[in-house]
Amino acid sequence: MKSQFERGQFLAMLAIAAALPLSLLAAAEGSFDRTLKVTGAVELEVKTGSGSISVHNGDAGAVQIHGRIHARSDWRGGLDAEDKVRRLETNPPIEQSGNVIRIGRIDDEELRRNVSISYEIVTPVETRLASQTGSGSQTVEGIHGPVSAGTGSGSITINNISNEVRASTGSGDVRMDVIKGRVSAHTGSGGIRGAGIAGPLQAETGSGNVRLEQTASGNVEVRTGSGSVEVAGVRGSLRAHTGSGNITAQGEPTGDWRLDAGSGSVTVRLPSQAGFDLRAHTGSGRVEVGHPVTVQGTISPRRIEGKVRNGGALLDVSTGSGNIHIE
């Protein structure tokens, strides 16, 4: 009886929605602009349930905020789309306490429902940023940082940051360029690309390619469930894994390197005078080494263990199916 009653309620609600005038189901758009005065380094927090976020550097002393509103009426009644837009234009969700600015908090649940706000923000270079959107892309450029940017679904682009960066998306690409600090990048599905990373690196994707270039020392950890991995300029330890795809790694192994491919070839490029301990194995393929190796144990086309130039940090390379090249 309970399930029949619930089905009856659902059908009744559908009938009511179908009978509503189109004006009650309409959408409306609007915008707002605000300029906030600041006197020093800015701590900026931006949140939106749905919408894009763009943050760029500008003149010191002011934070400029442009908001674009898209609202839909709720067929259950309450505020219509035009009412929501007018209220948000008159009283945007912006809070300021000195140099601390919080954008996007809407306490009124009815006003928040079926509303999307995208933000374009120009802020002084000396800004710390924490930004989050439930659905939408993010772009952050030219601030000191640190930066923490997240989205449930959408791409993230972060460029020219002078501090630590954390970027996370449930679905979408992560792109970074010129980051002068530690980087942590995660996506459930999508590629990760980074160049000019001057610090430690951690990158993980459930499905997608990873391409990273490091320009200063720091440990590197990269994982993808399915996709290729390319890392260059590594100066520290390295851990790289792909469930299916090729791995290419170049740099100076000042710490242990462990490279593992479930299926795919692995290519490692090291300085011509590098010394390291080598352990390489493939389930199906060949191992080729372009350095002089003092072999330990039995040598075979699929497995080599030994020392190169008196040894050093460990280079441990394995693949279930594919060739291994140590150049």
Q: Identify the burial level of 57 via C-beta atoms within 10 angstroms of its C-beta, where 0-12 means exposed, 13-18 middle and 19 or more buried.
A: middle
Angle formed at CA 221 by CA 146 and CA 286, multiple of 5 degrees: 155
- Per the CB < 8 A criterion, the answer to whether 209 and 194 are in contact is no
Instruction: State the DSSP H helix or E strand holding residue 8, giving kind and residue range, or none if neither.
Output: helix 2-19
pLDDT in tens, 231-240: 999 999 999 9
pLDDT confidence of residue 1: 43
Structure confidence at residue 112 (pLDDT): 87
Mean pLDDT by 10 residues, the chain (327 residues): 51 48 70 97 97 97 97 79 94 98 94 94 98 97 98 98 98 98 97 97 97 97 97 97 97 96 97 93 93 78 91 96 96
Q: What is the pLDDT of residue 222?
A: 98
Per-residue model confidence (pLDDT) at position 15: 47
What token pair was written down for 57? 């550097």
pLDDT at 185: 98
pLDDT tens for 190-225 read 999 999 999 999 999 999 999 999 999 999 999 999
Cα 289 to Cα 128, 200, 252, 278, distances in angstroms:
47, 28, 16, 10
pTM exceeds cut of 0.85: yes
Neighbours of 119 (CB within 10 A): 25
Give me the residue spans of the domains in the chain. 23-172
DSSP string, 16-69: HHHHS-GGGG-EEEEEEEEEEE-SS-EEEEEEESSS-EEEEEE-TTEEEEEEEE
pLDDT given at position 293: 86
180-184 long-range contacts (CB < 8 A, ≥24 apart) are: 181/145, 181/146, 182/218
Dihedral sign, CA of 7, 8, 14, 18?
positive
Locate 231 and state its tokens: 């890392």
Is 129 strand, coil or helix?
strand
**pLDDT value for 78:** 74
Check residue 23 and give its pLDDT.
44
Tokens representing 239?
A: 């851990």
| C-beta of residue 260 within 8 angstroms of C-beta of residue 321 | no
